[in-house]
Amino acid sequence: MECPHGCSSPMETALVTRIFYRGAEPVVIRDLKVHVCPECGYETLPLKSACIVENVLNERLEPIGSFSAPLFQPA
Ligand SMILES: [Zn+2]
């Protein structure tokens, strides 16, 4: 898969943890597969991952647990 920004390196697959918002409620998806460009950092969701996110946001997937962590924000 090629980076749409025209970089010469092929995009790599990575597993990431991401927070999405279902309305005002944050939900965390762990080990979500994304394609990342090693040169410019451009990230894209494979179709399968996009479906997972959609299922989570539509409450079609059951959570496996809950996640809480300290929250930081730049001053
Ligand atoms: Zn790129």
Burial 37-75 (b: 16+ CB within 10 A, else e): beeeeeeeeeeebeebbeebeeeeeeeeeeeeeeeeeee
Question: Is 72 part of any domain?
Answer: no
Question: Is 41 part of any domain?
Answer: yes
Into how many domains does the chain fold? 1
| pLDDT interval class at 38 (50, 70, 90) | very high
**pLDDT attached to residue 44:** 95
Predicted TM-score (pTM) of this structure: 0.82
Distance from the alpha carbon of residue 39 to the mean position of ligand 1, in angstroms: 5
Distance from the alpha carbon of residue 34 to the mean position of ligand 1, in angstroms: 14
Distance from the alpha carbon of residue 20 to the mean position of ligand 1, in angstroms: 24
Question: Is 65 part of any domain?
Answer: no
Question: Is 75 part of any domain?
Answer: no
List the domain range (segments joined by +) for residue 26: 12-57
Express each pLDDT in 3-14 by its tens digit: 999 999 999 999
Cα 30 to Cα 50: distance, rounded to the nearest angstrom: 14
Contact call for residues 46 and 34 (beta carbons, < 8 A)? yes
- Give mean pLDDT, residues 53-75: 95
Question: Is 50 part of any domain?
Answer: yes
Distance from the alpha carbon of residue 59 to the mean position of ligand 1, in angstroms: 33
